[in-house]
Amino acid sequence: MSTPHVLDELSAYIDGESHDPQRIARHLQSCPECARRHMELSKLSGHVHALRAPEVLPGFSERIAARVQADTPMPFWRQPFVTQRVVPTAWALAAVLCIVGTAYVVIQQVEAPLRDVPIATSPAEAIDPDPELLAHILERGIWETPFEEADSEEETMPGDLSVDLLIDALAATVGEEGAEAWYEEEDLLAILETLAEADVQILSELAQDHWDEG
Amino acid sequence: MSEIEDWALIARAQGGDMDAFQVLIVRYQRPVIHFCYRMLRSEQDAEDVAQEVFIRVYRYLKRLTPQAKFSTVLFGIARNLCLNFVRDMNRRGRGMGQPLDAQPALESNVRIPSQEAHLKEIEACIQAAMDTLSDDHRMVLFLRDVEGLDYEEIARVMKCRKGTVKSRLARAREQLRQTLIQNGDDLL
């Protein structure tokens, strides 16, 4: 009994992708035409498989690597503009800033000129001092703040009013009670303990100067 | 060769390891160049396009995710670039119908002149017959018979269905067979 030809299925059969390879195999045993075609296609496949690749020229992968390197954008910090211009400029700028900053500090220490800042000119202003003024006092020292209209018959010492201002400043920092404590009990250390380390340093120096002068 | 190895190399290359990428190039340079050569029929063009294939892979490295076979990614890119190249050449009036460059010689096998001549003759006949095929038919034939990809993998490379691969291969082989018979080549 003859079965239908399988010519159209031979390609997939050769590739091992046929859905029914047993049926095709059986048919090939009994059909000379399909068997001949199967042999031809198999040979053909073999010839194509035997096609030889061209020789890879030496340096192929190196040429690709070079192209990749050229193609890859360098990190920002390695780009020529940055390394040749920006970095040297930044270093130069940093050096200049360093020199200027050092010079400024040295000059400040040598001359210590007073800045043109507002100062308290009345008791009212002293009680409710300007923040800038407070900053100035804390920075410069209580003895530098003149006050010519002290509300006291006693001889005013330089910095007397500044003590009030300082107490106000303390009140803003440690509260009224703490400020009062210093004022009434002169318990400076108790107050200082509640302050930040940097402030403690400043206040210690100010207080020391104040008491020395007083 | 292990596909895990390929994707492990890709992972290393994704991390900036250029040596890993170099290994991949060396591993696949020959099949990619061969593929391009069969499509473009010029060794120089094949090498240029093959280089571009690897450059593209490198550019898209970060986006690559492990697939069944790394070679399907490579051949997919190679296919696109070859088709672009052929299209550009046709636009410029430089058709792709020219004969192949001198047939490549085996690198390591030493053959006696008569064997070599016979092999070259067969190759010339096969290539001449393959030149009558469309680009798609030539590609499926190459990917199946030279590279040994299965239908699923070829479908991935060709961006078509598995059934399309099956019918294209059947038609390509039948056309090739008939061409060889018509040309009187006694190869079958």
Give, for all 214 residues of chain A, the pLDDT tens digit: 467 889 999 999 999 999 999 999 999 999 999 999 999 999 999 999 999 999 888 889 888 988 887 766 655 665 556 677 777 888 899 999 999 998 888 877 665 544 444 444 443 444 444 556 555 555 544 433 333 444 444 443 433 444 555 666 566 555 566 566 555 544 444 444 444 455 545 555 555 555 555 4
In this structure, the answer to whether residues A130 and A198 fall within a common structural domain is: yes
A145, A110 in Cβ contact below 8 A? Answer: no
**Given CB atoms, is A5 within the 8 Å cutoff of chain B?**
no
Confidence check: pLDDT of B115 > 60: yes
Where in the sequence is the domain holding A88, given as residue range(s)?
82-113
Q: Please give the full DSSP string across B119-184, using - where no structure is assigned.
A: HHHHHHHHHHHHTTS-HHHHHHHIIIIIS---HHHHHHHHTS-HHHHHHHHHHHHHHHHHHHHHTT
Within this chain, do residues A167 and A188 fall inside the same structural domain, yes or no? yes
| The predicted structure's pLDDT at residue A138 | 56
Question: Given this model, what pLDDT does residue A175 score?
Answer: 59
Q: Closest Cα of chain A to B112: distance in Å? A: 17
The ipTM estimated for the assembled molecules is 0.87
Predicted confidence at residue B179, as pLDDT, reads 94
Q: Note whether residue A92 is domain-resident.
A: yes
A104 & A147 share domain: no
Instruction: Identify the residue among A52, A69, A74 best suited for mutation to test binding to B, counting B beta carbons within 10 A and taking the highest.
Output: A52
Residues A209, A132: one domain? yes
B131-149 residue pLDDT tens: 999 999 999 999 999 999 9
Radius of gyration of chain A from its Cα atoms, rounded to whole angstroms: 48
Q: Select from B104, B166, B188 the Cβ nearest to the Cβ of A53.
A: B104
Check residue A142 and give its pLDDT. 43
End-to-end CA separation in angstroms for chain B: 32
Q: Cα–Cα distance between A147 and A159 in angstroms, integer?
A: 8
Helix axes B162-182, B151-158, angle to 10 degrees: 90
Chosen from A61, A67, A69 to mutate, greatest number of chain B CBs within 10 A? A61
How far CA A211 is from CA of A157, A207, B6, in Å, comes to 11, 6, 82
User: What's the pLDDT score for residue A22?
Assistant: 95
Could you tell me the pLDDT band of residue B90, with boundaries at 50, 70 and 90?
A: confident
What pLDDT score does B156 carry?
A: 92
The CA distance from A25 to the nearest CA of chain B, in Å, is 18
What's the predicted TM-score (pTM) here? 0.61
- pLDDT score of A104: 86
> What dotted CATH number matches B1-93?
1.10.1740.10
Nearest one of B147, B165, B156, B169 to B68, comparing CA atoms: B156
Q: What is the mean pLDDT of residues B70-88?
A: 92
List chain B residues with CB under 8 Å of A67: 51, 55
Domain boundary among A93, A113, A133: A113
- Chain B residues with CB inside 8 Å of A45's CB? 145, 173
Does residue A138 lie in a domain region? yes
Percent of chain B with pLDDT over 70: 87
